[in-house]
Chain A
Amino acid sequence: MRNVNQTNNATAVATVKPRLLFWQNIGRKWFKFSRNALSVIGLIIVIAIVISAIFAAWIALYPEHAGPFVDFDNAGQPPSLQHLFGTDNFGRDILSRIIFAFRGAMIMAIVVLALAVPPGVLLGLIAGYFHNTWIDTVIMRITDIFLGVPPLILALAIASVLEPNLMNAMIAVTVMWWPWYTRLVYGMASSISNEYFVIAAELTGASKFHIIFREILPNCLSPIFTKMALDVGWVILIGASLSFVGLGEQPPTPALGQMVSDGARYMPTFWWMTVFPALAIVLAILGFNLTGDGIRDMLETRMG
């Protein structure tokens, strides 16, 4: 684990710019972001996915197909003008189901990050500020235990002992997600806490609360935001993996991984049942990755 810690520290040193705030020079940052064609393509994909997730009921041509709907007369239709991506074995429109599945994927990404980031960051800040004390040891060793199991396996295991549904899939992914933020913030916070402005604040009698949240936290924000942007794609990936095994959203509600695994049973005749949901997963992850890369370049952070 030594090398990982070292890169983290090196990263932190490179990113420390006293009082760098996320919203500073936002116009110039946007200019930088928009210069990179790939980032802009990524952002367009992201916006399209978010819009279709929010307005799924209006955008999808057959919104009722995202539920317990059966129309065996139209089952297994190949892609056509009526059904751009074809229909599945129950005669449901695949495109409409994908649009509704994006909604579940986005909800999952937002909820997981909203639940995992604050405690992860808080623990990282505390462990980093009190580094080389018993507080550091306790927090970071617990983090190490969570990081010691390959992430997907941990999520699968947690999801499997709970009832399979979207809620519990989100809980499982959240439990495996926070330690990554703790480790990221720990590396930065422990080196920032040796900076002169922190020592100055300590000498003027600032409270620990003030130092952690007003002096250290603002300097960690850029890498945190960058990681969050990149992580949306990864949460969608893990969510799709869980639902592929049957540990996510339950049918008839559509989920991307579940659609791929359902379609795999009807290969190769109904190939569109598998290929289009698979493409949707790839497109979503690609979009969020490209956007995240753009944000990283824009904020000049290096994630190690």
Chain B
Amino acid sequence: MVPGDPARLALGPRAPAEVVERLRQEMYLDKPLPVQYYYWIKGVFSGDFGRSLVTKRPVLEDIKEYLPATMELAIFAGILMAIFAILLGTLAARFRDTWIDGLIRIMSYFGVAIPAFVVAVIFMMVFGYFWPVLPALGRLSPGMTPPATITGMLTFDSLIQGNFATFWDAFKHLILPAVALSLGGLFQEARITRSSMVDNMHKDFLAAERGYGIPERVIMFKYLLKPSLIPTASVMGLDFASLLGNAFLVEMIFNWPGISRYGISAMLHKDLNAISAVIIIFGAVFVVVNIIVDIIVAFLDPRIRLSTAKGT
């Protein structure tokens, strides 16, 4: 099915034929496909993704090493995306049909159309060569000792251990890749927040609150924003998926030692065990994110929450 014999790829072209044959038997490559699949599934459920053909280590160990870096980046980018999307969307709705709204609209057309890898390359050029105020490569400056591993997320670990210098350095390294990752989703969500808020502006419950004399600012943030965030939250789940996809390119550009960069190198070397493990991990992350989004939506929309509580 796939060109190239994985056992031969693993051992190199000069390995003797009987060694390759022994590895083929070890990898069950001499068995029919369904049997191979059975052994693979059995391994996955016991946490055994097989051995990487490139790093020669169990894939699970590689994942343990590289996954935290990607999670740190993705979480930070997701937080950036959520905060600025809601902020810009609220601003645009508050000052709708003024130049602020127009500016955010134009920014959103471009923000959606510029691929994350283009942003990353441009950042690389600007901050890497012309205006080096932010570090553009890796997770820590050379010479910095990483904090003792608790979660593997450098900013989190150094903060817990009270190592603020390391935290600041790790944080600065996060900024460029995270911004590059978050831009696309950010502007799309800002647009959705804006239109949803404008739709809700003329609802009766807001007229009632204005009638009670509640200040406009309080209405805006307390009563209007919350129901208007439901579509934003739904889209955020999908945007997080495309963020994880774009991480594959962005990590490569910024030399970020995460699971996506590992995945890309696995893909370019046809390292099948690593590829399938990476895909399973991302699928699992995606499912978890969707569950979180559903919980957030239920929190925002009492109708969903109550209908589930009744068991209907």
Which residues of A pack against B, CB within 8 Å? 1-4, 7, 38, 148-154, 156-157, 159-161, 163, 233, 237, 240-241, 244-247, 257, 260-261, 263-264, 267-268, 271, 274-275, 278, 281-282, 285-286, 289-290
Contact = CB atoms under 8 A, between A and B. Distances in A.
A284 to B, nearest CB: 9
A286 B121 contact: no
30 contacts: A3-B233, A3-B234, A148-B286, A148-B287, A149-B282, A150-B286, A152-B246, A153-B278, A153-B279, A153-B282, A157-B275, A160-B267, A160-B268, A160-B275, A161-B270, A240-B117, A241-B115, A241-B249, A244-B249, A245-B264, A245-B267, A246-B268, A267-B121, A267-B124, A268-B125, A274-B121, A278-B118, A282-B110, A282-B113, A290-B109
Interface residues of B, number: 50
A1 B113 CA distance: 26
A285 B278 CA distance: 29
B270 A244 contact: no
Contacts of A264: 121, 124-125, 253
A4 B114 CA distance: 25
Contacts of B272: 161
A2 B238 CA distance: 13
Interface SS of A by simple majority: helix
B115 A157 contact: no
B17 to A, nearest CB: 25
Contacts of B112: 285, 289
Nearest to B230: A3
Contacts, number: 128
B3 interface: yes
A271 B241 CA distance: 31
A152 B245 contact: yes
A264 to B, nearest CB: 5
Nearest to A2: B294
Closest 8 CB pairs between A and B? A152-B245, A160-B267, A268-B129, A150-B241, A286-B113, A285-B113, A150-B245, A278-B118
A171 B264 CA distance: 19
Contacts of B270: 160-161
A285 B275 CA distance: 29
Interface string B97-140: 00000000000011011110110011011001110000000000
Contacts of B293: 3
Interface of B: 2-3, 109-110, 112-115, 117-118, 121-122, 124-125, 128-130, 230-231, 233-234, 237-238, 241-242, 244-246, 248-249, 252-253, 263-264, 267-268, 270, 272, 275, 278-279, 282-283, 286-287, 290, 293-294, 297, 304
B267 A157 contact: yes
A154 B279 contact: yes
Contact of A151 (B109, B122, B230, B245): B245
Contacts of B245: 150-153, 156
A264 B242 CA distance: 23
Contact of B3 (A4, A156, A163, A240): A163
Give the residue among B110, B249, B304 with the most A Cβ atoms within 10 A: B249
A107 to B, nearest CB: 19
